[in-house]
Each structure stands twice: as C-alpha cells, then as structure tokens.
Amino acid sequence: MQGPLAVHRWADLDAAGRAALLERGLGDVFDPALAASIAELVADVRTRGDIAVCEALARFDGCRVEPDGLRIAPDEVTRARAEVPTAVQHAIRAAIDHSRRFNEQVLRHEASWRVELDPGLEVGEKRTAISSAGLFVPSGKGSFPSVLVQIGTPAVAAGVPDIAVVVPPLPDGGGAVDPAVLVVADELGIRDVFRANGPAGVAALAFGTESIPACRKVLGPGSPPVASAQLEIQRHGVVGMQILAASESLILADGTADPGLLAADLLNEAEHGDDSASVLVTWEEDVIARVQPELERRLALLPEPRRSYAASAIGQVGGAILVRDRDEAVEVANLYAPEHMQIATADDESVLAGIEHAGEVLLGQHTPFSAANYLIGIPATLPTSGYARVTSGVTALAFTKTISIARADAAALAALAPDILALADHENFPAHAAVIRERLALDA
C-alpha cells in the first residue's frame, strides 16, 4: 500500500502512538511563551486602546494606520463591490441565504417554551439574543469571505443588535482588507468593520477602544495566537469562543466508496495549511490500496504551497487508520472527534447512529466537504482538535442565551414546602426556610 497516505494499524499502536495520532494543534495554542506574549499584548490593548491596536498593525502586519483609519469607510465598501466578480457576489448571496434559512430552523426548534411540571407549577425558558458580538475573520493565508458568512449570518439571524467585525489587512502592507469580506458584511448589513491585527483585534473587541466597540462575546477561527487571545480575554470576563484554525477531516469508508472521490475528499481540508489533518478510517485494506494511486495523481496536480500542505496532512499529521471492523471504526471516529466528517459506506445512517462526537457529519459521497464549507447552510465554523467532544459549530444558538422561568401557585408551593424546608434546614440557611414558613402561615 505504498503511496502518499500514511497507514496506521490501530491494533498495532500502543497508547502513546494512539495519543500522538489523536492529538493535533493544541500544543501550539497552549505554549507558555505564546500565552505570555499574548497576555502582554491583550493587556496593552486594554490599557492603551487604539494606539496599541495601531502599533500591533505596524509590528505584525507591516502597515501603518492612524486611529481614525481603523474603521472601514463606506467608500472602501463601494470599491470592494467593484472589485469582487459578479459570480462571487452571487455565490455570497446564495451562501448567506442557505445559512440564514438553516439558522431560522435552528431557532424555531430551540424556541422559548413553557410546561407544567406539577399541578400549579409551570417552568420554561425564554430565549433571547446576546447584546453584542465581535467576529474575527482571518486573512493571513488567503481570502475567506465564507468565514464571515458562517459566523455573521447566524449572529444576524439570532437578532444580535450590535455586531462588529475585525479583519487583518492584506499581506501587502497597504492596509486594505479583503474586498470579498467587505461584500459579505455589506450583504449582512454589518457596518462596524475594522482593520486590526488578529490578537490585538480580539482584545479590542473584548475591551473596546476609542474606535472599536466592546463586545460581550468574541469568536472566529484563527491562528494559535488568535486562539490564545480568545483564551486570554476570558480571564477578564469576556466570553471568547476558541476555534482553532487547523482544518481537519475524517472519512469513514468501506469498499462501496468510489476511491477517486475518496481521494478528492481527503485533499479537500488537507490543502488548508501545514497544520491540517486528513484521516481515512476503514476496516478494508483494499480501500486504502485503491485510494493511494488516486491520491498520488491528484496531489501532483495541486500547486504549491497547497501540495506541500496536503502531503503533510495525509502523510504526517493524518493518514489512513486500518481498524478491525465497523464498530471499531466508529469508536476511533468518536475518539478523534473530527471537525469535518464524511460517511461513505453501504449504510450511512446505521454508521451515523453510532457517531457521538463530530463537528459535522456529511452522509454519502454526494455531500462533499466543499459543499458544506460554502453553500449547504449548516455550520462550517466548527470545533477542532477534539473540541467536538464538548462543543458545537457556530449556529444562531451561539448568539443566544436562555432565561429560566417558573411560576408556582399557592397549592404547588405548599406541596414543595416540606422538601424545600428539609434542604434549607440541612444547609443551615434560616432565611431560605423563613420565606417558605411565612407563606405557609399566611395560607393557613
């Protein structure tokens, strides 16, 4: 099975070998030196505001901007409209439309509710939008309007009243930001868009500066420094949603899958960067053998640096994992908890029933990663590095919160009273008990 795809036999790996295969990306984010450096930068932005943001732009992005130039001006948006091809603008509108409709369904199914638990005791929740959201859109490795579609549309659909966007300037040092991102912001009706370095921009969104408004929740995919900044702002009471930039995918396949399509899909997320991971899990050796030449041919067609990124993703960071049977394949997939997952088997739904940890699951070979990344409408900004075990992709729910509601009548409270009093007396809270006893006395 020689080829570009590294092959790992799960049964032959010891605990350390399995851990090494499952761990990806976290070491860079939690590097102590990086954390110390980012903490210093965050504190500087918190203290000195716009000046610190401008200095970070000069230091890290090579462009000099005065504080009054941090906000993207309306004429820049107008120029962006002229620069972005009509086909791309049409695709942006289609992507926003699918994402908006998906998120409207999410909100409909997670709406406010009330139910009677006991006679006279009603409980429920009221779902409301958060007051403000700060969105970070990366630009270091290319143009990513799809990122703002993925995180901006849910925020708009949720009804967040104040949304601010930070975008690092393009690498040429001129200070301009990606025009395609500006088109997305314009389509979504987001007017507060700012140019700022990644970590400094996250800090500015968290604390606010003279130009950039403070936001209660900050999120967006980014490099380890950006992710580290999102961790750091949480120490100051601002919710930062950490989404690592390292892309990863896992395909669970059997012999019914087309090897050419498997190869194409394995390279989809693999081309993102040298920290990407692309994994094929199967219990049939022949699947790997048939994929190898298809991968080799397609890999040779990729331009640099995408070819080198993809070669690393399938040959070093990821690869094929050969397991004993379908049950072990599902077990390995859950342990990996991938950002993107595709099931390409004879019975996709049966396999899906066993999947508990994944950012997204795409069923069948007519549901490729790129379709979900760009247009299907389900979230494509997803937890990486195993965080899918404990969190979900960015939907409208990421921009809402719930208020618990309860109402008890006198009879319902009387029925609850003995247990409330037992716990209040046990924990030695006499005032807790008094509010019950006084009501019982009034109703006697």
- Radius of gyration (Cα) for the chain, nearest Å? 25
Question: What is the dihedral angle through the alpha carbons of 355, 245, 163, 93, rounded to the nearest 10 degrees?
Answer: -80
* Separation between Cα atoms, residue 339 and residue 157, nearest integer Å: 23
* Separation between Cα atoms, residue 299 and residue 113, nearest integer Å: 52
Tokens linked to 366:
């007519």
Confirm if 318 and 279 have CB atoms less than 8 A apart: yes
CA dihedral sign, ordered 340, 346, 352, 354: negative
CB atoms within 10 A of CB 73: 11
Confirm if 197 and 61 have CB atoms less than 8 A apart: yes
**Residues noted as catalytic:** 339-340
* Separation between Cα atoms, residue 313 and residue 275, nearest integer Å: 7
What length is written for the chain?
Answer: 444
**Cross-strand bridge partners of residue 218:** 134, 240
Tokens linked to 221:
């995919």
CA dihedral sign, ordered 52, 191, 235, 244: negative
DSSP assignment letter at 71: B
CA atoms within 13 A on the CB side of 129: 16
Phi, psi of 237 (to 5 degrees): 90, 5
Phi, psi of 8 (to 5 degrees): -120, 120
Residue 29 Cα distances to 335, 391, 417, angstroms: 20, 18, 50
**Cross-strand bridge partners of residue 249:** 278, 340
Q: Which of 404, 389, 408, 396 is nearest to 150 (CA)?
A: 396
